[in-house]
């Protein structure tokens, strides 16, 4: 079965699942996890973990799929179809409220930079969502490369921004946006796609009203408005843009703009909104980062506006400046050295 046929079939399956009343969940045929027979030729690259318990086992079977190693820090697994040997990515969702989580796929439709839903398997108390296989995520790639050149970063970031713009235009706020959520769809690592929509929020009624009240996301990527005291609402789209700014900064410089080993100190830095940009970064790249990492959400550009920024629309020409832009405060040489020594960690837990 080719990918186009699988996608068409998944749309029919998705429509049926979304139309099914929640009260009928107990009527669904449950799929139990069972260890598959021994196989060869598939060596795990991470320590495998059971999706049902902390006991380590090599493989698990969910419907017609084998689930292998769990991705670090995520409820995501590498999966292989038992008959076709096709590679997939499996995300595990709680059974309760799964329809709302899957509704974003139906609303967004097909997009080259968003991984489409291919299959859904109902489990005992979880829903297993199968997405295309991939060739690694941006977080691991940046960590392995230390930092990316502006030309490569521009080509990749434009794809990330296209995915976010498509979501925002269709009333989908992503939340918990980070480098790890973007994966390579080709082995040459030139094409990116957003993996998973399970943390998103669908805007209903007037899509222009993107006010949210819950606090959700990775500490290093959250905007200052999410750290404010009280239950005041904030713009979901603007929060996504801040996270994109953190992502681009990290891609180009190799460390987070706001970083500390102690959460309280990290959040204080984010609230203050002060960050520095190295002198060797081009003026246009600095400008684009500053358009996203604005302390006031209303001052941040929207995704559609960012796509028109000269750093993304003009052919890349290296520009070197002799000064560093500082936002809010100056840094000493010792602090600069400490920043240079800070790199992207292996993974960041959700707040």
> 29 in helix, strand or coil?
coil
| Rounded distance between C-alpha atoms, residue 244 and residue 168, angstroms | 13
How many Å apart are CA 60 and CA 188, to the nearest integer? Answer: 30
Secondary structure letter of residue 34 according to DSSP: B
From the list 137, 176, 210, 240, the catalytic residue is: 176
Q: Which residues are CB-contacts of 277 (< 8 A; sequence separation ≥ 6)? A: 249, 253, 286, 289, 324, 325, 326, 327
Helical H runs in 132-235?
138-145, 150-169
Strand partners, 213: none
Helix (H, G, I), strand (E, B) or coil at 261: coil
- Cα dist. 6→14, 116, 121, 196 in Å? 12, 10, 14, 17
The CA-based angle 56-60-65, given to 5 degrees, is: 155
Alpha-carbon distance of 326 to 127, in angstroms, equals 47
What secondary structure letter does DSSP report for 65? E
Alpha carbon distance 257, 243 (integer Å): 11
CB 202 within 8 A of CB 192: no
176 noted as active-site residue: yes
| Paired tokens of 123 | 């489990």
Spatial CB neighbours of 137, under 8 Å, sequence gap ≥ 6: 179, 180, 181, 182, 183, 184, 195
Question: Active-site positions?
Answer: 176
């Amino acid at each position: 079965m080719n990918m186009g046929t699988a996608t068409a079939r998944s749309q029919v399956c998705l429509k049926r699942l979304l139309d099914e009343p929640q009260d009928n969940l107990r009527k669904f045929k449950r799929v139990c996890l069972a260890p598959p027979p021994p196989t060869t030729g598939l060596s795990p690259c991470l320590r495998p973990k059971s999706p049902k318990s902390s006991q380590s086992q090599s493989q698990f079977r969910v419907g017609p799929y084998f689930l292998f190693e769990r991705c670090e820090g995520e409820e995501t697994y590498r999966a292989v179809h038992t008959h076709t040997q096709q590679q997939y990515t499996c995300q595990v969702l709680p059974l309760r409220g799964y329809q709302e989580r899957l509704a974003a796929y139906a609303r967004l439709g097909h997009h080259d930079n968003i991984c489409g839903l291919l299959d859904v398997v109902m489990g005992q108390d979880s829903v297993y969502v199968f997405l295309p296989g991939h060739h690694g995520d941006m977080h691991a790639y940046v960590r392995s490369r230390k930092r990316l050149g502006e030309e490569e970063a521009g080509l990749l970031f434009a794809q990330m921004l296209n995915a976010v713009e498509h979501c925002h235009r269709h009333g989908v706020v992503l939340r918990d946006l980070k480098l790890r959520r973007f994966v390579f769809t080709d082995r040459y690592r030139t094409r990116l796609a957003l993996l998973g929509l399970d943390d998103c929020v669908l805007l209903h009624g007037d899509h222009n009203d993107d006010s949210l009240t819950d606090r959700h996301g990775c500490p290093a990527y959250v905007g200052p408005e999410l750290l404010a005291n009280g239950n005041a609402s904030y713009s979901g789209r603007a929060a996504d843009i801040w996270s994109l700014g953190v992502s681009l900064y990290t891609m180009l410089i190799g460390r987070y703009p706001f970083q500390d080993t102690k959460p309280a100190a990290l959040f204080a830095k984010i609230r203050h909104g002060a960050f520095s940009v190295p002198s060797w970064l081009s003026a246009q790249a600095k400008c684009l980062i500053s358009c996203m990492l604005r302390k006031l959400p209303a001052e941040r550009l929207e995704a559609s506006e960012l796509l028109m920024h000269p750093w993304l629309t003009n052919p890349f020409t290296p520009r070197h400046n002799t000064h560093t832009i500082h936002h809010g405060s100056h840094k000493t040489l010792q602090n600069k050295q400490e920043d240079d020594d800070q790199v992207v960690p292996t993974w960041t837990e959700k707040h």
